[in-house]
DNA sequence: GCTTTAATTGAACAATGTTCAATTTATATC
DNA sequence: GATATAAATTGAACATTGTTCAATTAAAGC
């Protein structure tokens, strides 16, 4: 009944997380159960508890992977000509969300039980993401202090997050015909000081 | 075992929703179970299914109540001098969220299963909320078309929502020391065309 | 009082997260 | 190569969940 090193422990953990990712992609939080993950990698439910403290732990680690993937996409959009960076970042963000809405939703739909805190490695991951964007947008806010720039970036990030969650949960289409992506552009342009939501900073 | 008209059916439904509200206030989605609600009103679990289609239905109706309560608060802040309306609306919004974070979280933490749509009465409730704010902010965006004003309002609303969800789930404090409320003011001021986040529209 | 109708129950079912003693395999030791 | 040790894996078990529904009880109508 018991085997050994079919896969190394690290390998097995990776397999479990990949299985969880597929389930989350297809069915979201509601379909993501310990038994389903175990079944998908051909192990017994109990084995999952050798790899993770519990289901919450597994989900938090999966969310870590998702943050990494998002960082890659935003990183690719953060270079190039500063003038068009905001637009490209917004596009990259919504491309990511719309290409895997259920996986992205898991980032925020999942909440740890009362009193439990996110693990220590979570904060730098998130901070890196924001930092990346803040740095990319620095040339576009030359008149503002570093604190003001950072606050503006966090606000934009939270704003995009808000637009996306409402869009994904179908609560945005209840009140707006405008594409979420377009609202994103509007938000970012305004936050950066433009008057319209149609294009890059005018010269 | 069975009784009758201890309470009229409508009364019973109200009692169940009130019980659910208390549980949600105290423990959020994770503590909100059919059995807990039933126990709290002194009925058997099965009785809940006489009043609601299922737990999802109960939660959606509770969320409807929460939207109504929010509309009352925002409505009270939407009057008075137009110049200070944005600030008062932001304050009212965060007052609401911070006074019942778990109940407010339920609005967005809860997702219906794949394929199920929100009931028909949900849309007008939400639309009324947005409409109320859009109308209140109309004098502050005199140079914009009705569509542009509406888009700006939806964006602000989604943005406040994003800031609040991140704050409530403790993911905002991971990356920002600024108070969520202050980010809210920053967002609204910028969206309305101000350059700083410190006060009402300058004359 | 009897019948009809409606509300309420509680036992039952399938599925969930989680635990853990028992089991099996790999590795180390001689 | 046999034996002992350690590690990984299992699967049965438990408590809890949402949900269903035949049986039961009380009210309303006659």
pLDDT digits (tens, 9 = 90+) for A14-50: 999 999 999 999 999 999 999 999 999 999 999 999 9
Residue contact B170–A30, C-beta within 8 A:
no
Instruction: Please tell me if residue B170 touches chain A, with a CB cutoff of 8 Å.
Output: yes
Token pair recorded at residue B42: 């002194």
CB contact under 8 A, A126 and B175: yes
Residue in B108, B123, B183 nearest the CB of A174:
B123
Q: Which residues of chain A have pLDDT under 70?
A: 1-5, 194-203
The string of DSSP codes covering A93-104 is HHHHHHHSHHHH
Q: Tell the residue number behind the tokens 């969880």, with chain if given.
A: A20
pLDDT of residue A3: 61
Rounded to whole angstroms, the Cα distance separating B136 from B132 reads 6
Average pLDDT over residues B142-148: 90
Q: Which helix (H) or strand (E) holds A7?
A: none
The correct CATH number of B9-52 out of 3.10.50.30, 3.40.50.1370, 1.10.10.60, 1.10.645.10 is 1.10.10.60
Q: How far is CA A14 from CA A10, A53, A100, A175, in A?
A: 6, 15, 20, 41
What does the pLDDT average to over B147-175? 94
Establish if B186 touches chain A: CB-CB under 8 angstroms. yes
How far: B51 CA to C2 C1' (Å)?
31
Domain A1-52: which topology?
Answer: Arc Repressor Mutant, subunit A (1.10.10)
Q: Which of A96, A89, A102, A95 is nearest to A170 (CA)?
A: A102
SS3 A199: coil
| CATH number of this structure's domain B56-192, picked from the four choices 1.10.10.10, 1.10.3720.10, 3.30.2270.10, 1.10.357.10 | 1.10.357.10
For A60-192, give the CATH class. Answer: mainly alpha
Mean per-residue pLDDT of chain B? 91
d(CA B107, CA B56): 12
Residue B193: pLDDT over 80:
yes
Is the predicted pLDDT of residue B195 greater than 70, yes or no? no
* Helix, strand, or coil (residue B54): coil
Residue B4: per-residue pLDDT: 62
Share of chain B above pLDDT 90, in %: 82
The pLDDT of residue A175? 87
Whether B32 has a pLDDT exceeding 80, the answer reads: yes
**pLDDT tens digits, B94-124:** 999 999 999 999 999 999 998 899 999 999 9
pLDDT value of position A8: 77
For residue A26, give every residue at least 6 positions away whose Cβ sits within 8 Å of its Cβ, in sequence order, or none.
A102
Measure the CA–CA gap between A38 and A152, rounded to whole angstroms. Answer: 43
Cβ-contact B168, B104 below 8 angstroms: yes
A175 touches chain B (CB under 8 A): yes
* C-alpha–C-alpha distance, residues A31 and B134, integer Å: 38
Q: Where are the beta strands (DSSP E) in A91-187?
A: none
In which region does residue B61 sit, left (phi positive, over 0), alpha (psi from -120 to 50) or beta (all else)? alpha
Cα separation, B83 vs B150, in Å, equals 18
> What band does B199 get if pLDDT is binned at 50, 70 and 90?
very low
> Which candidate, A45, A157, A164, A158, places its Cα nearest to that of A95?
A164
Q: What is the mean pLDDT of residues B35-47?
A: 96
- Tokens in use for A111? 């909440």
Gap from A47 CA to C19 C1', in Å?
A: 12
Quote the pLDDT of residue A193. Answer: 85
Q: Is it the case that residue B1 has pLDDT exceeding 90?
A: no
Cα–Cα distance between B159 and B86 in angstroms, integer? 14
- Segments of chain B assigned to CATH 1.10.357.10: 56-192
Three-state DSSP class for residue A111: coil
Domain(s) of CATH 1.10.10.60: residues in chain A: 1-52
> In sequence order, what are the residues at sequence separation of 6 or more whose Cβ sits closer than 8 angstroms to the Cβ of residue B94?
B160, B164, B180, B181, B184
Tell me the chain A residues in contact with residue B128 when contact means C-beta distances shorter than 8 Å. Answer: none
Q: Within chain A, which residue ranges are assigned CATH 1.10.357.10? A: 60-192
Q: Which residue has the tokens 């740095």?
A: A135
Q: Which of residues 43 through 102 in chain A touch B, CB cutoff 8 A? A: none
- Residue B181 pLDDT > 60: yes
pLDDT by residue (tens digit) across B42-65? 999 999 999 999 999 999 999 999
């Amino acid at each position: 009944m018991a085997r050994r090193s079919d896969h190394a422990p690290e390998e097995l953990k990776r397999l479990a997380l990949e299985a969880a990712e597929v389930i989350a992609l297809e069915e979201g939080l509601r379909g993501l159960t310990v038994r389903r993950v175990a079944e998908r990698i051909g192990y017994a439910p109990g084995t999952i508890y050798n790899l993770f403290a519990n289901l919450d732990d597994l989900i938090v680690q999966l969310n870590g992977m998702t943050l990494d993937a998002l960082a890659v996409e935003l990183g690719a959009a953060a270079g190039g000509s500063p003038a068009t960076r905001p637009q490209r970042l917004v596009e990259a963000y919504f491309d990511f969300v719309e290409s895997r809405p259920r996986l992205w939703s898991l980032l925020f739909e999942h909440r740890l039980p009362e009193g439990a805190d996110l693990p220590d490695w979570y904060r730098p991951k998130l901070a890196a993401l924001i930092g990346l964007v803040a740095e990319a947008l620095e040339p576009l806010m030359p008149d503002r202090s570093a604190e003001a720039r950072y606050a503006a970036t966090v606000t934009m990030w939270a704003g995009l997050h808000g637009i996306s969650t409402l869009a994904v949960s179908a609560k945005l289409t209840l009140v707006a015909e405008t594409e979420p992506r377009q609202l994103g552009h509007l938000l970012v342009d305004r936050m950066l000081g433009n008057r319209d939501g149609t294009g890059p900073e005018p010269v």
